[in-house]
Amino acid sequence: MISTFAQRLIRWQSAHGRHDLPWQGADAYHVWLSEIMLQQTQVATVLPYYRRFIAAFPNIDALSAATEEQVLAHWSGLGYYARGRNLHAAARIITQKHHGEFPRVFEQILELPGIGRSTAAAICALAWHERRAILDGNVKRVLARHRGIAGSPGKAFETRLWQLAEALLPQRDIAVYIQAQMDLGATLCTRNRPRCDMCPVQSDCVAYQSGRVNEFPAPRLRKAVPERHATFLLLLHGNDILLEKRPGSGIWGGLWCPPQFVDEAAALAWGAKEGINIAYPGSGGEKDLKGKVLGRDYPANSKIACGPLRTFTHSFTHFKLHITPLLLRLQHRPKQVRQAGSVWLDVGEALRAGIPQPVRALLEEYCRS
């Protein structure tokens, strides 16, 4: 008799799955952190962030006592910053409402910010061996292929997969089974070029047996991705750069960024209003430089001339942002520059603060002395 889907996965995981991930066999806090970091992010990328994060915040109390800024500094570069903000907010709720103990009840876990049904189930299954089904992106792909479930991703498709995920749950070895599903989706049943030849469930995989692996799951109907443009003003005074804290919500909420404008003209207009002679060779404002803003004549050790730099594109889930950096070096620091939420930070210090990846790349390429 052929073993069940779960039995084969459990056997395969024991022999070929991943066993040395630092959160495996750990407590709910470590499992929770790993599950949040692994959303939209590959294990190899997560590992160094996870290790640094745990070193800085070894338990819920430490995370709860930290400032949001400290948490975001450790999330800097990992992307999807709402994850870090929610993690921090949830830690504070756990401290206040659950006396610092990660809640043991599934429904209470679900109430925490940033935790959905699949993540809550993964924590229960991996930390406490509770019999719960998960359905992350990898598991959806494995199940849709194995059972040949067609249909575009959407509510009906998800409902069907949840029912299937529940029905396939084994009675025992739940933690190994959950890890097996994750490992299979990440290492063999990958989106592109799956390794069906090594798969433990290929004998009854509908997609494989019918030669239609690439048809499952059906691709999401892609809408045109909106494109936006922005000018980032890299305003330097010596080794310091002007940064602003983004409002708490939104894609880069709570992170430090250079002042952002819709275009270069808006940046120049802002400069005029703030009393800064923003001018550089070619801007038409050289005659107003008066030694305050240095362009062509910046000291010989400056590798980069002032002015607009190469435009580059950063892709978010829902839009593309074309960023044109505008680099200016001030000889004198202006008295008033967007005081509220603004700060002049040493570039080295800025690189250790909570900044998004494109800002990090800009500072490293153009602003480090």
Binding letters toward ligand SF4, positions 144-173, x by CB under 6 A: -xx---------------------------
Cα 108 from Cα 259, distance rounded (Å): 40
Q: E strands along the chain, which residues?
A: 227-237, 240-245, 256-257, 260-261, 293-294, 307-308, 312-315, 320-330, 342-346
Helices (H), the chain: 5-16, 28-38, 43-56, 60-65, 68-75, 82-97, 106-110, 117-128, 137-147, 155-168, 174-183, 206-209, 264-274, 347-351, 357-362
Interface with ligand SF4 includes 83 (CB under 6 A)?
Answer: no
Closest approach of Cβ 148 to ligand SF4, in Å? 9
Site string for ligand SF4, 190-219 (x = CB under 6 A): ----x-x--x-xx--x-xx----x------
Characterize the bridge pairing of strands 320-330 and 256-257. Answer: unpaired
Structure tokens at 225: 């991705």
Residue among 35, 111, 158, 244 flagged as catalytic? 35
- Which range binds ligand SF4 by CB under 6 A, 122-130, 161-169, 172-180, 187-195? 187-195
How buried is 313 (Cβ within 10 angstroms: 0-12 exposed, 13-18 middle, 19+ buried)? exposed
| Count of residues of this chain found to bind ligand SF4 when the rule CB under 6 A is applied | 14
88-127 mask for ligand SF4 (x: CB under 6 A)? ----------------------------------------
- Is position 227 annotated as part of the catalytic site? no
Instruction: From 126-134, 153-161, 165-173, 189-197, give the range in contact with ligand SF4 by CB under 6 A.
Output: 189-197
**Binding footprint of ligand SF4 on the chain (CB under 6 A):** 142, 145-146, 188-189, 194, 196, 199, 201-202, 205, 207-208, 213
Catalytic residues: 35
